[in-house]
Amino acid sequence: MRVSQLFTKTSKTAPADEVAKNAQLLIRAGFVYKVMAGVYAYTPLGLRVLENIKQIVREEMNAIDGQELIMTNLQPREVWETTTRWDDDVVDVWFKTKLKDDTELGLAWSHEEAIMEMMRQFIESYKDLPVSVYQFQTKLRNELRAKSGIMRGREFVMKDMYSLHTSAEDLDAYYNRVIEAYKRVYDRLGLGKDTYVTFASGGAFTKFSHEFQTICDAGEDILYVHHGKNIAVNEEVLDEAVAELGIDKNELEKVKSAEVGNIFNFGTDKSEQMGITFTGSDGKEHPIYLASYGIGITRVMGVIVEKFADEKGIVWPENVAPFKVYLVRIGGEKAIEHADKLYEELKGKGIEVLYDDRDERPGTKFADSELIGIPHRVTVSDRLLEAETYEYTPRMGGKTEVLTHAELLAKLG
RNA sequence: CGGGGUGUGGCGCAGUUGAUAGCGCGCCCGGUUUGGGACCGGGAGGUCGAAGGUUUGAGUCCUUUCACCCCGACCA
């Protein structure tokens, strides 16, 4: 991609109505466009990051036999009434709308009921279980107050997976596989070191549910971390969990964190409420066990910005960066010719390059490359070409090296 | 939803006791520049969030309303 063709532009100033670091930087660098409070559009740059995050999640969900699908945003009222969750007093984030004939519809804030209703059609026998399905969906939640940029919006992208089982034991086994898969996801996203599986308040079937919390000053939650045992407890269940786990409260460090994933064990709750059963090997009807597993894709993007950004701008981890290389061109005809050639060469090797082919001064290009946060910067200039060299500067660390063509390719390969 | 704050060219801001809007950045044209956000000259662009009111006169005062931000509450 050539910078001259990107319709987005960088800005030296952040809009006054954004305080959150993630929103300020993402807007300044041209990754998102704010439509209204808590509602952001993703530009080509932003979409590339989202797709990279989604692909990592997709690969790990597929690796544990998740089957990708996509449900709908429009949901019928009746399905949610069977579990009492249509009621605004039970679920306070509903957006609701009506058909022309006044039939009430809900705009999806979650999909447990919708998934189960669909599965009613397909699950008949124990031979049809277990099954795990997931999707990347835009969730709509009528939050009373949107805040923290893209970290808590009214419209956001979430990966939600649902697994259905014949028994609690089978569900538990899969549940633990998902925890392991989630750990791999956060490792690959560059967040592994600071992400904990935490004990949080549970539902009817488990004492605690599990949340994945990433230490982050911009987060909304308070976490107590036990570094020795690698355990973290959500503040809301602190006393209970400390007693249960037999740990000394004084050994816990209090930190702010952002919830980047959440998993729930519903047991047979949903299927009993909705009357969804399978026929067991005993020939009798049994309720289906259900668990759900979420990862906030757009929130993860915000957390990554918050955690890695420095005074110059965003710093994308290698795996989620919109491009691998930012190619800066300085100088006249000779530099243009060589930079064009290098751009094509790198693209030919499958390396994603953002090529700054604009007629701008060097300082502007360097500053933009840093604000946008591409991991590797390569500079081509008349001066360097006289010695047949290139400059290589990693975004993280920022230490420049002068390299030959072969050395450069080795570095980027 | 309770409390607090802010709305003035694309962005960031100034605008005094009411007198017909200004600065920086950005943008357009011309020229000089070219390794850390260049410089000179010229230019375009605003019914001051909206509606109503007070006044000879409102960006400024009053009322209503909308939007946005922050704190709290909320977060199956």
Q: Give this prediction's pTM.
A: 0.96
3-class secondary-structure state, position A62: helix
The Cα–Cα gap between A240 and A368 comes to 49
Task: Please name the residues in contact with A356: beta carbons below 8 A apart, sequence gap of 6 or more.
Answer: A3, A326, A327, A328, A329, A365, A368, A369
Find the nucleotide nearest A390 (Cα to C1′).
B35
Through-space separation of residue A14 CA and nucleotide B46 C1' in angstroms: 21
Phi, psi (deg, nearest 5) at residue A157: -95, 130
Q: What is the pLDDT of residues A310-364, one digit of tens each?
A: 999 999 999 999 999 999 999 999 999 999 999 999 999 999 999 999 999 999 9
Task: Please name the residues in contact with A101: beta carbons below 8 A apart, sequence gap of 6 or more.
Answer: none
For residue A206, the model assigns a pLDDT of 60
For residue A13, the model assigns a pLDDT of 94
CB A299 within 8 A of CB A152: yes
**Two structure tokens written together for A311:** 């005074």
Maximum Cα interatomic distance, chain A, rounded to a whole number of Å = 82
Average pLDDT, consecutive stretches of 10 residues, N- to C-terminus, chain A (413 residues): 95 93 97 95 98 98 98 96 93 94 95 97 98 97 93 96 97 96 97 91 64 93 88 85 84 92 93 97 98 96 97 97 98 94 98 97 97 98 96 96 97 92
Find the nucleotide nearest A366 (Cα to C1′).
B36
For residue A306, the model assigns a pLDDT of 96
Through-space separation of residue A162 CA and nucleotide B71 C1' in angstroms: 37
3-class secondary-structure state, position A127: helix
Through-space separation of residue A369 CA and nucleotide B22 C1' in angstroms: 34
**Where do we find the tokens 């050395």?**
A407
For residue A207, the model assigns a pLDDT of 64
CB A64 within 8 A of CB A107: no
For residue A202, the model assigns a pLDDT of 61
Through-space separation of residue A102 CA and nucleotide B55 C1' in angstroms: 51
CB A364 within 8 A of CB A392: no
Find the nucleotide nearest A360 (Cα to C1′).
B34
Give me the DSSP letters along A319-373.
Answer: TT-S-SEEEEEESSHHHHHHHHHHHHHHHHTT--EEEE-SS--HHHHHHHHHHHT
Find the nucleotide nearest A391 (Cα to C1′).
B35
Q: Which of A215, A311, A298, A367 is nearest to A23 (CA)?
A: A298
Through-space separation of residue A149 CA and nucleotide B66 C1' in angstroms: 22
Tally: H helices and E strands in chain A: 12, 21
Find the nucleotide nearest A385 (Cα to C1′).
B35
Q: How large is the ipTM?
A: 0.94
Through-space separation of residue A97 CA and nucleotide B34 C1' in angstroms: 58
Q: What is the pLDDT of residues A390-401, one digit of tens each?
A: 999 999 999 999
Single-letter code of the amino acid located at A348 = G
Q: Show which positions of strand B are touched by protein (CB under 7 A).
A: 1-2, 5-6, 11-13, 24-25, 33-38, 67-76
Find the nucleotide nearest A91 (Cα to C1′).
B76
**Where do we find the tokens 């300082």?**
A363
Through-space separation of residue A153 CA and nucleotide B64 C1' in angstroms: 30
Q: Which of A7, A12, A56 is nearest to A318 (CA)?
A: A56
Q: Which of A137, A162, A125 is nearest to A50 (CA)?
A: A137
Task: Please name the residues in contact with A306: beta carbons below 8 A apart, sequence gap of 6 or more.
Answer: A21, A22, A151, A216, A217, A218, A258
Through-space separation of residue A223 CA and nucleotide B4 C1' in angstroms: 28
Through-space separation of residue A106 CA and nucleotide B52 C1' in angstroms: 38
Q: Which residue is nearest to nucleotide B34 (CA to C1')?
A: A361
Find the nucleotide nearest A367 (Cα to C1′).
B37
